[in-house]
Amino acid sequence: MIPARMICRAGLVRSRAPGAATFAAAFFGLLSLFAPAAQAVTIERIVSPGGIEAWLVRDATVPLVTMRFAFKGGSSQDPPGKSGVANMVASLLDEGAGNLDAKAFQERLEEQAIELRFEDDRDHFRGSLRTLRDRREQAFDLLRLALTEPRFDADAVERIRGQLMAVLRRESTDPSVLAQQTWWSTAFPDHPYGRPEKGTPESVAKITTDDLRAYVRRVFARATLKVAIVGDIDAAEAGLFLDRTFGALPPEAELEPVPQAAPSGLGRRVVVKFDVPQAIVNIGSTGLPRNHPDFVAAYVVNHILGGGSFTSRLYQEVREKRGYAYGISTYLYPMERTALLMGWTQVRADRTADSIAIIAQEMRQMAEKGPTAEELDKAKAYLKGSFALRFDSSDKIAAQLVQIQIDNLGIDYINRRNDLIDAVTLEDARRVARMLFDGRLLITIVGRPVGVTSSGPG
């Protein structure tokens, strides 16, 4: 029941040599055939000789090793006026490290069929490694170099800067990106969460090599590290690789404090005129922290309202019955320093006002009456039955385990999770619905919506 993370910015994805890419993809694809279901996953807590903790799932079905890891930090640690530093670091870590320049580093990845990726969100800097078992020595060594000895050579920095600027120029005409950025900057105007994660052309142009090195030095530290390893590797060997990969990192991070925040502008509607045939609508309000005792009930209730894809009330009312939208969804988004209820839809411009009215009406009805007993039973059955799909590959398993660690849910969470959902009563659902759907939304719209204008609170 790890909530979907819609805003997870990856570094630039570069194509690999066809032979190596095909070779790696063939082996990685086998995992979906053999990976254990959620109920069969056995998680070991291991501690390396150097004291680095990780969660391990052994799977010798295929000769592969997958690792996911995360450091606390993310784009919220970008210096003021230089948003995009974390994203630029993510794009540059595999562009040369140690005695390997960018070309040599990339060739080494290709030759060994190693997949190495980095990405950031607002709260974390994340990475992933996938390798064949007999290439694990080389794979972990390349990751160690990337994390501890990134080169940030001038030619690579400028090449990646140019690519990032091209992405920003393209996204400046993407209505979905504009609606999202407008929502965040309005909700958190004086907070790191309000900054654009990828930066702006102006901020990216100002980022220096010193900024990149300072970010790595401050954020990459053992104290905030969460790691999950899945595959054909035992605990003793995994411990040695943990020390070899992360052991040279500083023990403590030097993070700038990020203040607790609640979304501003609730009750506002912000319209950005843009010449596109549809209107992109983002909605958001206050949600529940992940450690809140009613979070599981809120998760189930949100599934009924807008999280259930084709079965949710919003999908049925806006898409199926009236054909106003191409898609519509809502989700809970608990973060380190805030908790949100978010939603998105892409609607016909001439039906924007009607669609927003339906969303408000359905939220109001959910708050007043809650779900029906039938809706609750169906939601619980679906959420329990679909959970195993999050564990059908080694990469998914590792990603889930890292997020469970970040959310501090406990190593036995996947065994308790369905029981927690079963325990949600109709009264729980109705009580949480009254709390969650209070009608105060910040709505941002990009397009030419008919009959909708910007408005203040109320």
195/207 Cα distance (integer angstroms): 15
State whether the Cα torsion 395-411-297-184 is positive or negative: negative
Dihedral pair phi/psi, residue 382, rounded to 5°: -65, -45
Please report the domains of the chain, with CATH numbers, ordered by start residue.
Answer: 9-246 (3.30.830.10), 269-447 (3.30.830.10)
Amino acid 8: pLDDT: 31
Confidence of residue 439 (pLDDT cuts 50, 70, 90): confident
At 370, the amino acid letter reads G
pLDDT (average), residues 432-445: 96
Whether the per-residue pLDDT at 34 is higher than 50: the answer is no
Residue-wise pLDDT for 163-205, tens only, equals 999 999 999 999 999 999 999 999 999 999 999 999 999 999 9
The CA radius of gyration of the chain, in Å to the nearest whole number, is 23
Amino acid 456: pLDDT: 83
336/406 Cα distance (integer angstroms): 9
pLDDT (average), residues 390-404: 95
Residue-wise pLDDT for 275-306, tens only, equals 999 999 999 999 999 999 999 999 999 999 99
